[in-house]
Amino acid sequence: MTGGFRGHATFRTMRGIPIALAVLTAVAAARAAAAGSPEPVKPADAANAAAADQAPAPPPPARALTPAEAEAIMERAKRLDPTLDFRDLRRMKASKPEFRVSAYISPQYKIAIDNLEAAVGKSDAAAIRKRCDAVFDIYFLEAKAHALCGVALEKAGDKEGAEYERYLSQGMVASVLSTGDGKTLKTSYEVYAVSEEADVLFAAGLVKVDQGTVSGLDKNGAAKAFDAITARDPQTGKTQRIFFNVTALYTRYGQLDDKKTMEDR
């Protein structure tokens, strides 16, 4: 994206709470479970997990979900169904007529996040749940926000609610990571919203340095649109380029060659 997206600086620590660690732990657990590993994956290893894996085969083409199918997906999520394909959940949320990617950088969303952040450490779980819902009513597709909600609910004693939010946060990030390794256009991560790009960088402990939008061909020769992000590891100072397939955003908001439509993502 070439607009004014900067992300929310508060997500770096969130009142000193290592939300990144919560996301990393969740993703690491998902990868360990999928691999059948007898040893748990350390959170520090999660940032390198995507690069270590070979890029999987591309998922089947997306199709529109019926209202009944959409309802069934959320019911499965509420049951913490380990077999739920989070690609379906992410696509379902992004394809809703009222969905706007720009809500992610709206003042209303930042206020809702700040209100939720301020509730961390308080004991009124019901009030915290309302603040979580206020966030997700504006924008649902941010794993970091679900991780924050989970931490707040955990500290308030709502173990079940915290587990659900961790499940969502874990599933969203792991779902994006499962679509590729981000090293090339052909193995780029497939995203439905720019917040998913930020979640990948956040979970890997990387900071965005530069970004551009490019067009290219996938391995099947089909025209696709990509975000090319240069990110830096603040610990080592090393930079790397990460590719995200954002074709779904183009096809939702306009034609593939219409660059202006990308500015309101």
- Supply the pLDDT for residue 252: 58
Last residue of a domain, one of 120, 151, 177: 177
Statement to judge: residues 138 and 244 lie in one domain: no
Statement to judge: residues 91 and 206 lie in one domain: no
Query: Who contacts 22 (Cβ-Cβ below 8 Å, separation ≥6)?
Result: 147, 150, 151, 166, 169
- Supply the pLDDT for residue 113: 96
Last residue of a domain, one of 148, 177, 206: 177
- Supply the pLDDT for residue 63: 57
Q: Considering the domain boundaries, does residue 2 fall inside one? A: no
Statement to judge: residues 121 and 229 lie in one domain: no
Please give the C-alpha separations between residue 165 and each of 30, 114, 120, in angstroms, as whole numbers. Answer: 14, 18, 14
Please count the structural domains in the chain.
2
Read off the CATH number of the domain in which 205 is found. 2.30.30
Statement to judge: residues 89 and 63 lie in one domain: yes
Angle at which helices 143-155 and 159-177 cross, to 10°:
160
Q: What is the torsion angle, in degrees rounded to the nearest 10, for the CA atoms of residue 254, residue 226, residue 139 and residue 155? A: 170
Q: Can you give the C-alpha Rg of the chain in angstroms? A: 18
Provide the residue count of the chain: 265
- Supply the pLDDT for residue 96: 80
Statement to judge: residues 94 and 201 lie in one domain: no
Statement to judge: residues 167 and 196 lie in one domain: no
Statement to judge: residues 205 and 119 lie in one domain: no
| Other Cβ atoms closer than 10 A to 97 | 5
Q: Considering the domain boundaries, does residue 260 fall inside one? A: no
Per DSSP, helices labelled H in 6-158 are 19-35, 43-52, 67-78, 86-94, 107-119, 125-138, 143-155
Q: Considering the domain boundaries, does residue 183 fall inside one? A: no
Taking the chain (265 residues) in runs of 10, the rounded mean pLDDT of each run is: 32 42 50 41 37 44 71 93 92 83 91 96 96 96 94 96 95 93 92 92 92 81 88 95 88 46 38
**Tokens read off for 160:** 């079940």
**Tokens read off for 189:** 């991560």
- Supply the pLDDT for residue 177: 94
- Supply the pLDDT for residue 32: 47
Q: Considering the domain boundaries, does residue 156 fall inside one? A: yes
| Other Cβ atoms closer than 10 A to 12 | 13
Statement to judge: residues 123 and 199 lie in one domain: no
For the chain, how long is the longest CA-to-CA vector?
Answer: 55
Statement to judge: residues 154 and 204 lie in one domain: no
- Supply the pLDDT for residue 70: 86
Statement to judge: residues 76 and 172 lie in one domain: yes
Q: Considering the domain boundaries, does residue 3 fall inside one? A: no
Q: Considering the domain boundaries, does residue 32 fall inside one? A: yes
Statement to judge: residues 157 and 214 lie in one domain: no
**Tokens read off for 162:** 């915290």
Q: Considering the domain boundaries, does residue 58 fall inside one? A: yes
Range of the domain at 198: 189-255
Q: Considering the domain boundaries, does residue 102 fall inside one? A: yes
Statement to judge: residues 117 and 163 lie in one domain: yes
**245 — phi, psi (to 5°)?**
-80, 110
Structural element, H or E, at residue 232: strand 223-232
Alpha-carbon gap, residue 7 to 142, rounded angstroms: 11
- Supply the pLDDT for residue 172: 94
Last residue of a domain, one of 109, 144, 177: 177
